[in-house]
Structures are given as C-alpha cells and as structure tokens.
Amino acid sequence: HVGHASEGRGVEDLALLDGAKFSRLFVDSGIFDNPAQVELLENNGVTILRGFLEHVEEIYQMADAYLFPTKSGDYVISVPLSVMEALSCGTPAVSYKSMKVSQSINGIVDDALYEIDSEKQLNVALQEIANRKTDHSLISGCTTWNEAADHVEKVLFCKDGR
C-alpha cells in the first residue's frame, strides 16, 4: 500500500496477509504519524518505507498486486489516487466493496480490480489478482509512463520539427 498510517486508513490489514506467501510493503507518506500502527506492521514483518519517493511509480511497477485497505470514505478523498496509480502501472488492485472504487474510477479494465467484503478474503483475493499483472495500463485510454515521457521530451526538445 502507498499512503499514510493515519487512523481509519486500514493499513493494519497488511499484517493479516500471509507473510509466507506475500512480500508486504507499506510506503508511508509520513503525513500523519501513527507510531502504534507502524509498530503493529513492523512486529508482523511488514516492510515500511517512509517519506517522499521521487519515483514511486517504480514501487507500483514492481508490485504484483496492490491493496487499498481503507473501508470507509470518511478517511480518503472521493477517488483513491493510489489505486489509479497502481492500475496505470499495470498492477491489479484489491479494495473493499464499501469503498465503491469501481464506481469512482472510469475505464478500469475487466478483472483488474477485485472488490472484497471482508478481511477474510484478503489472502485469496491478492493471490488471484496477482496473476493479472501486466506491463500495460489497466485503465483504458491511459498512456504509459514511457509514452508520457516521450511526449514531454518531444515538447521540451522540439523533436517533431516545430
């Protein structure tokens, strides 16, 4: 998960994942300090990276699956940006049905998002969704990181002759 450890975000769900089957990583933005949450994750073998990462897209690209653990809209903005980032990097995601992520992001490719009812479904859902990892965006109509970089390069360096 990429986000912050504030109350209500659900990052403690990472500790529920089978450490023998999954490498669990939490990229903590550091915006909100929650020592108890961090201690729980560390005590359960979850790797935590803290602070700003200039190339966070590499984390999404590296992952086989992404978990958006928040269960209530009271703790997030209306469109979960981290899920959009993961899907854009070709990384399928798991979220809770209560968040209605599939309704808030247009163009999600079929079977790229697995919405679950409870924590009891986490391990199975993540194992299944990891098989859908790809090197292409899982949001239709999006450009890849490389296509965007090529476009910026053309604009900045006028490589199209203009």
Query: How many angstroms separate the Cα of 101 from the Cα of each of 42, 53, 96?
Result: 28, 25, 8
19, 44 contact by CB (below 8 A)? yes
User: Tell me: the pLDDT tens digits for 58-91?
Assistant: 999 999 999 999 988 665 666 788 999 999 999 9
pLDDT interval class at 36 (50, 70, 90): confident
Beta-ladder partners of 96: 116
Q: Place 162 in a pLDDT band, splitting at 50, 70 and 90.
A: low
The confidence score (pLDDT) of residue 74 equals 65
Give me the sign of the Cα torsion angle 5, 122, 19, 91: negative
Quick one: average pLDDT of 25-33? Answer: 83
Residue 73: what pLDDT?
66
